[in-house]
Amino acid sequence: MSTKGKTSREMNVTEKLTALFDGLEECDEDEQRQKILEINEMISEMNEDEYLSVFTKEPFNKIDKMIEKEKISLENAIEFLKFIGYYKMLRSLIDMAFYCSFLNDRFKKMIINENEKKDEKNEKLLADLCECYISLNFNFEPELLSICVSCLLKVALKKDENEETQKEVEMALLALGNSGHNFIEQKLYLNEIKEIVQYHQKHHNLTRLAYQSAWKFLMERLFFDKNLEEMIVNEYRLGREVARELEELTKRLDWKSEKEKGKRKKEKQEELILLRWLEMLEFYFRYFHLWNEEYVGLIDNIATVFRAAKDENFEVIKQCISTFKNVAESKCVKLDDFLRSGAVDAILEGMQRPTLNNEMVCEGLRFFIEISRKLKRKKDNETEESKRKLQSKKIFEKMEEEGSEDIISCFWKTVENIGYNRYNLRLSASDLIFA
């Protein structure tokens, strides 16, 4: 845990964690458990940069040596690693620290050995090892991934609603959601994930994070099996389900209010879950093209999130704009329905925000450029052509009312001054002429 080149706060966090971590070797098992709880509490207060500065491969190599020399019980080591993985997955962080460590090699061998046992297989240990392997990694060997997916789905299928089981299920699904765009045979997951999603839709047994993670795992399978799209959109009701989740999360969040520490921590988690939904939608609309009428309501809900966040949460409003841009560019979204939603009004309002920075204005410009391009495509049918012209006129007038034309004109000068390459805006101002 090197402190070279770090800020004073990062050094303070690193030093405190290092002291606690180094003291683990000298403790008995109960004392270790208590120190691990203290370390976990510190980790939960970290920002992403602090996490990445602390958890390089050295701490994982040290845990590997402690396990080898029996300086830490495997149970305590796993509990510690599961919490580190939980932090990393919740924030969708990607890093190579664990992947490059000796501990990764140890866990891979242990997973294979435990899985090959016939009569004395420890299912709980195997599930814990699989969870650590997937949650802390970023790259997966096919054999290991197959074992882990099958094992974690067994855990995720548990129906008991007591707090302990719910946490086990949440952690298993969160890990599965971290499995990336890797090929997994349908027979290993399809029936199980279908049962998990549809059972929740009927009984609401999963936590919000668990349900989002189940969808994340399912959506990432689309890269290798586009036949799933029909099922995801029309059978599992992608638009309806995500719209409801966004609506409920937005109602629960109050970015302006000062909260006591415990409530604020819970609210922070809900912000992260909301961001995970938006990121998942951005991914879907970028790559897949099946239309469903429920998308109109979904886009409206994203607009509601955007307005609720306003100046209070930069990451959320940035992700909303980016998601809108991908929706606007998507082949699956009908322009009429998109213009019916609250997206255009929300972005026009957003362009007026005094705190909007260059990056976010550029995302807004990309959004309007794509809308403009679609509206410029002349229709062969006379009725459709009249509708296109009317839509163009309405948006242009709306932009004039909001003063957005002036903002855009001014911003082109800024883009020219800072260079086109930085924002990939190799376009002329005429791209934003709607009529």
pLDDT tens digits for range 99-117: 999 999 999 999 999 999 9
How wide is the angle at C-alpha 205 spanned by C-alphas 200 and 209, nearest 5°? 85
Contact 305, 316 (CB under 8 A): yes
pLDDT-derived band at 398, boundaries 50, 70, 90 = low
Does 399 map to a domain?
no
Average of per-residue pLDDT across 381-389: 78
Q: Domain residues for 130? A: 1-139
Per-residue pLDDT, 422: 46
Other Cβ atoms within 10 Å of 213 Cβ, number:
27
Residue 27 DSSP class: S
Does 59 map to a domain?
yes
Q: Is 343 helix (H, G, I), strand (E, B) or coil?
A: helix
Q: Is 99 helix (H, G, I), strand (E, B) or coil?
A: coil
pLDDT-derived band at 429, boundaries 50, 70, 90 = very low
Average of per-residue pLDDT across 19-23: 83
Does 198 map to a domain?
no
pLDDT-derived band at 80, boundaries 50, 70, 90 = very high
pLDDT tens digits for range 156-199: 999 988 999 999 999 999 999 999 889 999 999 999 999 999 99
pLDDT tens digits for range 227-249: 899 999 999 999 999 999 999 99
Residue in 66, 63, 57, 53 with CA at minimum distance from that of residue 2: 53
Does 74 map to a domain?
yes
Per-residue pLDDT, 98: 96
Does 225 map to a domain?
no
Per-residue pLDDT, 409: 57
Q: What percent of the chain has pLDDT over 90?
A: 51
pLDDT-derived band at 426, boundaries 50, 70, 90 = very low
Backbone dihedral region for residue 370 (phi beyond 0: left; psi -120 to 50: alpha; all else: beta): alpha
Instruction: Tell me which residue has tokens 């349908």.
Output: 186
Average of per-residue pLDDT across 262-270: 67
| Helix axis angle, 382-402 to 343-350, nearest 10° | 30
C-beta pairs of 41-48 under 8 Å, 24+ apart in sequence: 42/13, 42/16, 42/17, 43/17, 43/83, 43/84, 43/87, 44/87, 44/265, 46/13, 46/87, 48/91, 48/93
Which residues, 6 or more positions from 116, have their beta carbon under 8 angstroms from its beta carbon? none
Contact 330, 289 (CB under 8 A): yes
Per-residue pLDDT, 435: 45
Distance (Å, whole) CA 301 – CA 387: 26
Does 132 map to a domain?
yes
pLDDT tens digits for range 311-367: 778 889 889 988 988 888 888 887 777 777 888 888 877 776 666 666 777 777 777
Instruction: Tell me which residue has tokens 């930085």.
Output: 422
Per-residue pLDDT, 199: 96
Does 412 map to a domain?
no
Per-residue pLDDT, 72: 94
Per-residue pLDDT, 423: 45
Does 65 map to a domain?
yes
Is residue 403 over pLDDT 90? no
Per-residue pLDDT, 412: 53
**Cα separations in angstroms, 117 against 52, 124, 153, 252:** 36, 13, 19, 47
Distance (Å, whole) CA 345 – CA 343: 6
Number of domains in the chain: 1
